[in-house]
Chain A
Amino acid sequence: MAEVMRPEKFDISNDTSSLASPELLHVLAVDDSIVDRKFIERLLKVSSCKVTVVDSATRALQYLGLDGDNSSVGFQDLKINLIMTDYSMPGMTGYELLKKIKESSAFREIPVVIMSSENILPRIDRCLEEGAEDFLLKPVKLADVKRLRDSLMKAEERVFKNIKHKRELEASDIYSQLKRAKI
């Protein structure tokens, strides 16, 4: 008679989380100002994030694979956990970038944060209505990034725990089925 494995011995895989690595959030930062790019990059690194910085919304779309050539498919195994974009940029604005991301089936779940040096309420409302996760006034503070990071990590943890729990239920279901079949 074969030994029936107890559920606890089943290996519950760790990579169901979409985190770039167990602890690191991968952030895509978009800003046309070289000073602000340098600043936000450092801010994010100090907050233990992996950072990719681009200088325009067009380049951001290229990086995500949403620039027309690949239509809305995108690069499926590109793990981005957060997009932070400046609002006022020449060419495509941060708002337009936000819309494109929310239209994409591959990336619409990724939280998008808008940054702006101008505190214009209708602008803030418009961004939040379009699905922005948050709207930050520049210059962005370390506290803002920490707050974002903490809330994203909590969300990831919840997702991971749900998946883990689901796996446990499935495993214990198999176990009881096997027991009943007396294998």
Chain B
Amino acid sequence: MNTVVVAQLQRQFQEYLVSLYQQGFLDNQFTELRKLQDEGTPDFVAEVVSLFFDDCSKLINSMSRSLGRPESVDFKQVDSGVHQLKGSSSSVGARRVKNVCISFKECCDVQNREGCLRCLQQVDYEYKMLKTKLEDLFNLEQQILQAGGTIPQININ
């Protein structure tokens, strides 16, 4: 094991992870998720976020359909979708996605179709952005493991 390479990768990983918190992509709940992962379940976090992204895609599609025709918007359905999205984003620590959901719900409550469409677009953007970021993060993890190192547990304040 090349300890210099491992140390370098670990530092890269740490810096990248910290930046995700600092830029508001992730919050403390993501830290909680990482704590639940161990050598016996090395893919736990990746699996949960994968389920989350699938969920996002599905919910965004169905809300898009509900918002489709201006004369027949099913706001109850949209509200239900936002509620679910807010819940699951909260469970994985997807902070930006969750925050868009808060605004989204407000637009829904006053039946503001235009506002809802904007929020829908934003939530779509945010989850895809987060997906890319986390793919890069998991990639770094794999590199560390392949170089024979261990993934650092990082305390984010």
* B66 interface hit (Cβ, 8 Å): no
Among A35-43, A54-62, A77-85, A119-127, which stretch is in contact with chain B?
A: A35-43
Give the distance in Å from the alpha carbon of A43 to the alpha carbon of B32 in the complex: 10
Residues of chain B in range 66-85 having any CB-CB distance to chain A below 8 Å: 80, 83-84
A35 touches B32 (CB 8 A): no
> Nearest Cβ in chain A — how far from B40, in angstroms?
10
- Is the Cβ of A33 less than 8 Å from the Cβ of B91? yes
Query: Which residues from B are CB-within-8-Å of A42?
Result: 36, 41, 44, 48
Q: Is the interface of A mostly helix, strand, loop or mixed?
A: helix
Chain A residues near B86: list those with CB within 8 A.
117
Chain A residues contacting B36 (CB-CB under 8 Å) are 42-43, 46, 142
Q: Which 9 A-B pairs have the closest CB atoms?
A: A35-B88, A139-B91, A117-B87, A42-B36, A35-B52, A35-B51, A38-B48, A35-B91, A34-B51
Verify B35–A117 contact, CB threshold 8 A: no
How far apart are the CA atoms of A113 and B83 in the complex, in Å? 21
A38 near B47 with CB under 8 A, answer: yes
Query: Considering only CB atoms, which chain B residue lies closest to A46 in the complex?
Result: B36
**Inter-chain contact B91/A36, CB cutoff 8 Å:** yes
Is A35 within 8 A of B83, CB to CB?
Answer: no
Task: Judge whether B88 and A36 touch: CB under 8 Å.
Answer: yes
Contacts of A46 in B (CB 8 A): 36
In this assembly, does A172 line the interface, its C-beta being within 8 Å of a C-beta of chain B?
no
Q: How far is the CB of B82 from chain A (nearest CB, A)?
A: 12
Bound: A117/B32 CA distance, A: 17
> Which A positions have Cβ atoms within 8 angstroms of B?
33-36, 38-39, 42-43, 46, 88, 90, 117, 138-139, 141-142
Of the A-B pairs whose beta carbons lie under 8 Å apart in the complex, a sample of 26, sorted by A's number, is A33-B55, A33-B84, A34-B51, A35-B48, A35-B51, A35-B87, A35-B92, A36-B88, A36-B91, A38-B47, A39-B48, A39-B92, A42-B36, A42-B41, A42-B44, A88-B83, A117-B87, A117-B90, A138-B90, A138-B91, A139-B29, A139-B32, A139-B90, A139-B91, A142-B35, A142-B36
| B 137-153 contacts with A by CB, 8 A | none
Considering residues A34, A39, A43, which has the most beta carbons from chain B within 10 angstroms of its beta carbon? Answer: A39
Cα distance, A138 to B92, chains bound together (Å): 11
| Contacting residues, chain B, for A139 (C-beta < 8 A) | 29, 32, 90-91
Bound CA–CA A142/B35 (angstroms): 9
Contacts A35-B92, A39-B33, A42-B36 given; does A138 touch B87 at CB 8 Å? yes
Query: Could you tell me the distance between the alpha carbons of A25 and B35 in the complex, rounded to whole angstroms?
Result: 22
Complex Cα distance, B88 from A36, in Å, reads 7
Q: Tell me which residues across on chain A come within 8 A of B88, comparing CB atoms.
A: 33, 35-36
Once the chains are docked, how many angstroms separate the CA of A49 from the CA of B70? 49
Cα-based distance from A62 to B51 in the complex (angstroms): 26
Give A142 Cβ to nearest chain B Cβ, in Å: 7
Residues of B within 8 Å of A38, CB to CB, are 47-48, 51
